[in-house]
């Protein structure tokens, strides 16, 4: 049995699976994997669609897992697209459509590689595909739901490869062995409203907010670590909503986002942010409410057997040894790392989430070849 990853990518792209809609993508994959002998289970939770598929013996110590998602971000303004965002048109060797890069091509490549491998050279072990429809959304009922279900059912991956696009410019350039953590914090500074002609009768929250944002943004969190760049803090919003020129407002709000390395945790950074706000309040007499959301902690899969195996496979298929990196945003690897060692490798991500998102047809086949080689090497 041989699966064409380009054709499978096109069929997946034609499924309008904009988060949280399933759009037919997981139904398509479930039908194909069931025909290939995989035991498939829909692990839907709170309206989010997820698919678990296993070939081989449950609980086998040699179980290789793939993780990915079929949901995509919205297309934006349809008139800005030159090509149908759900048409999967191929023009000059490039397939156009929402999700071609992020990451239906990756799912198609690992699904095709897995089906070919288990049907042509059945291994002594098991292969698991954990595919979610909630990576681009809140990610509360996607891969986390799959991992919760797997724990309950005593399903286990020994190692996992996440098929997200990982290379900035060319195929084979980079794999991810970890990710920075991500934290957002919202600040509401409250003072006392008053007339701008009589500022002594009011308590202006704006100078306090300005001081707080300056303290946070000018602070050096760290200088980086062996595998991570320095942590960063960005002020992403300051909003007072005051259209009057003669009124000192009672409140102002702001938001910051921190991308942090393995020198920090969500808890330690949260404590630091609250301490900074309290110190500013003490100086200005204001009251600041702080709301914090940690989207994911930083993590690292230390370089070793798994990353070496993936690196050898990429080099054999592309001639390029991928760089080990922890750059970029968050991915569902942040959840998988609590289950088993995890590495990410996929296509070039230049056009993901962009208008006229597109992928090289040649690279889809190349990616299947890499995943196929990884499976052969793992079970050899």
Catalytic residue among 30, 135, 136, 262: 135
Element (H, E) at 206: helix 205-218
Contacts of 296 (CB under 8 A, 6+ apart): 179, 181, 182, 330, 334, 335
Residue 170 per-residue DSSP state: S
355, 350, 360: which is closest to 90 by C-alpha?
360
How far is it, in rounded angstroms, from Cα 336 to Cα 241? 41
Helix (H, G, I), strand (E, B) or coil at 117: helix
In whole angstroms, how far apart are CA 330 and each of 176, 221, 339? 11, 19, 17
Element (H, E) at 156: none
- Asked if the peptide bond before residue 63 counts as cis, ω within 30 degrees of 0, the response is no
The CA-based angle 270-141-88, given to 5 degrees, is: 115
- Give Dmax over CA atoms of the chain in angstroms: 82
Check if 214 is active-site.
no
163, 154, 158, 61: which is closest to 104 by C-alpha?
163
Catalytic residue among 71, 164, 262, 297: 71
- Please provide residue 129's backbone torsions phi and psi, each rounded to the nearest 5 degrees: -115, 120
- What are the beta bridge partners of residue 127? 55, 64
Check if 332 is active-site.
no
- Asked if the peptide bond before residue 103 counts as cis, ω within 30 degrees of 0, the response is yes
Contacts of 72 (CB under 8 A, 6+ apart): 17, 18, 19, 98, 99, 102, 104, 136
How far is it, in rounded angstroms, from Cα 325 to Cα 334? 15
* Active site residues per annotation: 71, 135
């Amino acid at each position: 049995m041989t699966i064409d990853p380009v054709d499978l990518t096109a069929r997946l792209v034609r499924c309008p699976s904009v988060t949280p809609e399933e759009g037919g993508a997981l139904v398509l994959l479930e039908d194909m994997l069931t025909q290939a002998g995989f035991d498939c289970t829909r692990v839907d939770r709170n309206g989010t669609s997820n698919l678990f598929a296993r070939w081989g013996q449950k609980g086998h110590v040699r179980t290789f897992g793939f993780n990915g998602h079929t949901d995509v971000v919205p297309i934006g303004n349809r008139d800005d697209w030159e090509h149908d965002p759900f048409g999967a048109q191929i023009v000059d060797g490039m397939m156009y459509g929402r999700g071609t890069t992020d990451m239906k091509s990756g799912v198609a490549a690992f699904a095709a590689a897995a089906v070919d491998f288990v049907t042509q050279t059945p291994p002594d072990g098991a292969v698991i595909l954990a595919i979610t429809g909630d990576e681009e959304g809140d990610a509360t009922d996607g891969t986390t739901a799959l991992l919760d279900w797997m724990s309950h059912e005593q399903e286990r991956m020994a190692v996992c490869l996440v098929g997200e696009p990982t290379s900035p410019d060319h195929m084979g350039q980079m794999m991810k062995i970890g990710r920075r953590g991500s934290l957002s914090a919202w600040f509401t500074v409250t003072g006392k409203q008053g007339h701008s002609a009589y500022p002594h009768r009011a308590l202006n929250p704006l100078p306090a907010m300005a001081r707080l944002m300056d303290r946070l943004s000018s602070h050096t969190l760290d200088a980086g670590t062996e595998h991570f760049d320095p942590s960063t803090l960005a002020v992403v919003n300051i909003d007072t909503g005051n259209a009057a020129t003669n009124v000192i407002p009672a409140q102002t709000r702001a938001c910051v986002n921190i991308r942090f390395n393995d020198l920090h945790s969500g808890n330690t950074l949260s404590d630091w942010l609250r301490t900074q706000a309290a110190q500013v309040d003490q100086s200005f007499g204001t009251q600041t409410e702080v709301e914090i959301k940690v989207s994911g902690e930083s993590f690292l899969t230390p370089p070793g057997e798994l990353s070496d195996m993936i690196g050898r496979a990429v080099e054999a298929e592309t001639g390029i040894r991928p760089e080990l990196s922890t750059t970029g945003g968050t991915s569902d690897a942040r959840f998988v790392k609590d289950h088993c060692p995890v590495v990410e490798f996929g296509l070039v991500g230049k056009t993901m989430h962009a208008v006229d998102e597109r992928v090289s047809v040649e690279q889809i086949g190349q990616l299947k070849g890499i995943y196929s080689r990884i499976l052969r090497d793992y079970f050899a």
